Structures are given as C-alpha cells and as structure tokens.
Amino acid sequence: MNILVEASLEPEVSSTFNVEKIRADFPILNLKIEDKPLVYLDSAASSQMPQPVINRLNYYQTAQHANINRAVHYLSEVATAEYQKARCKLQQFVNAREDREIIFTSGTTDAINLVMHGYGRKFIQADDEIILTTLEHHSNIVPWQMLAKEKGAKIRVVPINEAGELDIHEYKKLFNERTKFVSLIHVSNALGTINPIKEMIAYAHQHDVPVLIDGAQAAPHIPIDVQELDCEFYTFSAHKLCGPTGVGILYGKAEMLESMQPFKGGGDMIASVTFAETTYAEIPHKFEAGTPPIAAAIGFGAAVDYITTIGLEPIAAYETELLNYATIRMLEIPGVNIIGTAANKAAVLSFTIDGIHPHDIGTILNEDGIAVRTGHHCAQPVMQRFNVPATSRASFAFYNKKTEIDALIAGIKTVQKVFL
C-alpha cells in the first residue's frame, strides 16, 4: 500500500483539479438532507447529472422529440440525426472502428443478456465452458447460468486473493479445449479492484476464445480503447457516467455482431417481414428492436461530451487522490475493516465496522446527509469470499471533495458511539 504514503492529508488540496468549479455544474449537490448538506458517496450505483446533460435532455424534449427512422417529417429527421450523432460520440469515446459496432441497449445488464442470447444461445453447446470471475456483478453471472442450464454447459470461476485481486495463474489454468467464452468485469463494483483485462483478453485469444468485458464501473473512470484492448464485446451504462437511466451501450466487433442471432424481435430490426419468413436488418439495427431510448441516448452523448471535456485522465488522478485520502482516514479508526485492498484500485471503499450491521451504518450516516450503499452490491460471491453478509460502500466521483470524506469519517465515529 505504498501509494498511500503519497496521499495528501490536507483537505481540499488538489493542484490540478478545480472541484468547486465542477460541483457548480451539479445542482443536486446543493441539496440538504435532514437539514444537512448532501454528501453523495454512492456514485458507483448511479452518478449525478451535470447541468449541460440536463439542458440537453430538456432541449431534446422541448424542441426535437419524435420517433426515429420511420418518417420523413422534420422532427423525425432531427431526432434520427441526433440519435445517430450520439452513437458516433460513443464510438469515439471507446475508439470503436465503426459506428455500427455500437448498439444502444437499456444498460449493461441488457447488453450482457443480448450477448448471451445472440451469441451464447447460437454458439455454446453442451459441455462447453464459460469462464467468469468471483468479482462479477450478478448481471454477469445469472445470464450465463441460465445459458449453462439450458445448454448443459459449465461455468468456471476465477478465484480472488485476500486483497480482492484475481488469481491470474488460476485463470490461465481454467482454459482447455471446451472453453468457449470469457466474460469479465473490468472494475469490481464491490471492491474497486481494477483487473488486468488486456493481459486476460490476450490469453483468451491464444485459445481462440472471445471475451466480453463488463465495463460498468470502468468507463466512468478509465479511458477505454476497445481496439487496443481487442475485446470482442464491451459494455457500460449511462447512469454511472453522469448520464440518464435506461440506456447503455454494447460495443461488439462487427464480425461478431453480424454472426449473432437477434435478441429481441420487433419493429426497426427487420429488412422484410412476411408470415412465411422475416429477414433482419444490418447491424446495429438488428439489435435495436422497437423504439429505442432516444432521449436517453442523446443525453448519454451529452454526458460523454461533458466527461471528455474534463478528461478521464485528470478524473482518474483526482479520484485516486480521494481514494488514498479516504483510505488513510478510515484506517485511523479502530474497528473499521476495509474489504478490498488491491494494488490497482478504483475509488470504491467497501468496509465493515466490528459489531455493527452495515444497514445500521447506512441508516445513521443518512441522518447526517451522507449517502453510502449498504448490502451485497449485487455481488454475493464476493461477500461469500470474504465471509461477510454485506458491506458499507463509499464510492467517489470527480465531484466529491476531501471535506466530504471528513464528514464520512465523523459519521462513522458517530455510528460507533451510537452502537458500541
């Protein structure tokens, strides 16, 4: 943990990052909860939305809304063009080769289900093996379990060590001639561990195995280059990236998406329909049945613009500074245990307090206006690995500041006074 030594204990000092200027973009951060200023430390669940994204959504609804792809009238053409522009913004954001490699979904969960149905149900057979890791969110476990049950396939799981890091040696040992798919979390939502996905993708490719990356917790914090990573699929949700709920993307290599069967059937995903036979549209439309989340996708594009203007590299550096500060302050409190101490970690701090249930911690912190998440974080296998029913989780975004971490530390001391 030598990175901690470099962390500044000085509140509000960050030489390069003007957090007060950024906070002014987020109206919700001015809220008072129980008469106390809101301290929002739950951005890993959903991040907050800046004014430019709110304005973009408002403008779309006020002056641009219509259904897309279906009419020649002015508004439909505007909405179609704006929706397509959003796709191109997402293409640039992840550096995909082509815009048709970006599918709008309702979020990460929907995207993983799309791949399970579109790729898995077509290509995975009885006795085939799918590699997952202990760190996966339920949305990257349950769809594959459903597939395994249907097909008679097997799930193999990469274990983690005490720090919450994947055992890469064990990962490599799991490969054999029956291995047909790898689905991996990039950054753990429960622990913050950043996985060495580039190395893991390259190893899977040595065995001709395609890889899906669940980037729900990575895309808001780490620059993503899907061509450099060379993964077959990458997915994340807008609502963790300062965008609206109800939309996310699936990036897929064009040749993979073309080889897959559609996930959902309906309008807009067809080339022609008769009762005898239906032929499907080209990608990306083949995977966007029905009216898509048009407004949300356009808001997603605005969120990507906002994040790109600030820059993911300064964001990551500032969030690491927050994480290191919070870790040092947390370790000062007797009875507090940090769960997840990976060397390479995003700004997520999961913790337990001896003798106090996580839900009680969350409830008392809420009385001070502090929003943390308590529970299993949709990652029960992680909880089982550490033998805890739940943790409390503070997750930091680039709009948080060190005085908010001080408030969290004071809040934890209050919790201990109340219960111990």
Of 26, 87, 101, 107, the residue at the interface with ligand PLP (CB under 6 A) is: 107
CB atoms < 10 A from the CB of 175, how many?
Answer: 17
- Within 215-254, which residues bind ligand PLP (CB under 6 A)? 216-217, 237, 248
Of 47, 91, 139, 350, the residue at the interface with ligand PLP (CB under 6 A) is: 139
Tell the residue number behind the tokens 């990460």, with chain if given: 108
Query: How much helix, strand and coil, in percent to the nearest 5, is found in the chain?
Result: 45, 20, 40
Q: Is residue 301 close enough to count as binding ligand PLP by CB under 6 A?
A: no
Angle at 225 between CA 220 and CA 226, to 5 degrees: 110
| Closer Cβ to ligand PLP, 75 or 222, answer by number | 222
| Closer Cβ to ligand PLP, 137 or 345, answer by number | 137
Q: Is residue 108 close enough to count as binding ligand PLP by CB under 6 A?
A: yes
| 113 Cβ contact partners less than 8 Å away, ≥ 6 residues apart | 143, 263
3-state secondary structure of 373: strand
Tell the residue number behind the tokens 């067809």, with chain if given: 270
Q: Is residue 137 close enough to count as binding ligand PLP by CB under 6 A?
A: yes
| Closer Cβ to ligand PLP, 296 or 338, answer by number | 296
| C-alpha–C-alpha distance, residues 56 and 132, integer Å | 38
Tell me the two tokens of residue 209.
């195995």
CB atoms < 10 A from the CB of 106, how many?
Answer: 17
Tell me the two tokens of residue 177.
């001639």
Tell me the two tokens of residue 31.
């809220």
Find the shortest distance in angstroms from Cβ 46 to ligand PLP: 8
Per CB under 6 A, the segment of 60-68, 193-201, 213-221, 300-308 that binds ligand PLP is 213-221
Asked, as a colleague might, if the bond just before 196 is cis with ω within 30 of 0, I would say no
| Closer Cβ to ligand PLP, 217 or 352, answer by number | 217
| C-alpha–C-alpha distance, residues 220 and 15, integer Å | 22
Per CB under 6 A, the segment of 105-113, 171-179, 198-206, 351-359 that binds ligand PLP is 105-113
Find the shortest distance in angstroms from Cβ 347 to ligand PLP: 13
- Measured in residues, the chain has a length of 420
| C-alpha–C-alpha distance, residues 183 and 158, integer Å | 11
| C-alpha–C-alpha distance, residues 412 and 403, integer Å | 14
| C-alpha–C-alpha distance, residues 146 and 154, integer Å | 11
Find the shortest distance in angstroms from Cβ 243 to ligand PLP: 11
Q: Is residue 185 close enough to count as binding ligand PLP by CB under 6 A?
A: yes
Q: Verify whether residue 242 is a known catalytic residue.
A: no
Per CB under 6 A, the segment of 88-96, 103-111, 368-376, 384-392 that binds ligand PLP is 103-111
| Closer Cβ to ligand PLP, 138 or 205, answer by number | 138
Of 189, 327, 352, 374, the residue at the interface with ligand PLP (CB under 6 A) is: 189
Find the shortest distance in angstroms from Cβ 287 to ligand PLP: 16
| Closer Cβ to ligand PLP, 270 or 316, answer by number | 316
| C-alpha–C-alpha distance, residues 181 and 202, integer Å | 13
Q: Is residue 180 close enough to count as binding ligand PLP by CB under 6 A?
A: no
Q: Is residue 324 close enough to count as binding ligand PLP by CB under 6 A?
A: no
Per CB under 6 A, the segment of 106-114, 166-174, 197-205, 224-232 that binds ligand PLP is 106-114
For 204, phi and psi rounded to 5 degrees? -60, -40
Per CB under 6 A, the segment of 18-26, 86-94, 209-217, 392-400 that binds ligand PLP is 209-217
Binding site for ligand PLP (CB under 6 A): 107-109, 137, 139, 185, 189, 214, 216-217, 237, 248, 378
Q: Point out the residues that are catalytic.
A: 378
